[in-house]
């Protein structure tokens, strides 16, 4: 079993750097996944990147803050409990991003940046896949950073 402590950086600059880094990684991963799933539309590259950045500016800070504050507020004792709580937060983010992407894809199609309309089902699949990919990358990065900072023994006790 993995026991958790606090993940909140005590330095406000550390918190800001962690949040900006998380925003950058999330945007890069989600852009790659969504761009690939849309069939790499050449006309929509920069416009879509800007739109996705705005979506992530809306949805990423609450997820980042939840990542930092859930361990302190709810005191999950196991890594599984923390992942369940973060999974619930991510599900809400998927639904919000689904709505925002649906709106963005519609505007891009009507504006001629996309050659075909993106269906509701495909938009949901895109939002789910992109968020799952960024969640996995984020969790992996978190584990690697914690392992480097606190040593591998923290994570190897119960595994």
**Nearest CA to 19 among 48, 76, 57?**
57
CA distance 50 to 44: 10
Q: What gap in Å lies between CA 32 and CA 102, rounded to an integer? A: 18
Rounded to the nearest angstrom, the gap between the alpha carbon of residue 114 and the centroid of all alpha carbons in its chain is: 24
Residue 125 — left, alpha, or beta (φ > 0 → left; ψ -120 to 50 → alpha)?
A: alpha
45 token code pair: 């590259």
Cα–Cα nearest to 69, from 117, 134, 124, 4: 4
Instruction: Round to whole Å and give the CA distance between 49 and 63.
Output: 20
Q: Are 126 and 101 in contact (CB under 8 A)?
A: yes
Query: Which two three-digit tokens encode residue 94?
Result: 């998927």
pLDDT in tens, 14-52: 777 878 888 899 999 999 999 889 877 777 788 888 999
- Is residue 123 classed exposed, middle or buried when 0-12, 13-18 and 19+ CB atoms within 10 A define those classes? buried
Residue by residue, pLDDT tens for the chain (159 residues) are 333 444 455 666 677 787 888 889 999 999 999 988 987 777 778 888 899 999 999 999 888 887 777 766 666 677 677 778 778 888 999 999 999 999 999 998 998 888 889 999 999 999 999 999 998 898 788 777 767 766 655 455 554
Q: How far apart are CA 126 and CA 29, in angstroms?
A: 12
Q: What pTM value is reported for the model?
A: 0.77
Distance CA 155, CA 121 (A): 38
């Amino acid at each position: 079993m993995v026991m958790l402590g606090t993940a909140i950086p005590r330095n406000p600059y550390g918190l800001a750097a962690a949040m900006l880094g998380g925003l950058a990684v999330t945007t890069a991963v989600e852009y790659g996944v969504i761009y690939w799933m849309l069939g790499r539309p050449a006309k929509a590259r920069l416009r879509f990147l800007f739109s996705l950045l705005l979506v992530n500016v809306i949805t990423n800070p609450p997820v980042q803050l939840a990542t930092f504050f859930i361990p302190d507020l709810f005191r999950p004792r196991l890594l599984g409990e923390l992942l369940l709580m973060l999974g619930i937060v991510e599900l809400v983010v998927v639904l919000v991003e689904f709505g925002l992407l649906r709106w963005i894809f519609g505007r891009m199609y009507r504006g001629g940046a996309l050659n075909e309309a993106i269906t509701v089902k495909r938009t949901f699949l895109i939002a789910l896949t992109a968020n799952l990919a960024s969640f996995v990358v984020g969790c992996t990065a978190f584990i690697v950073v914690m392992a480097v900072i606190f040593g591998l023994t923290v994570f190897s006790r119960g595994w």
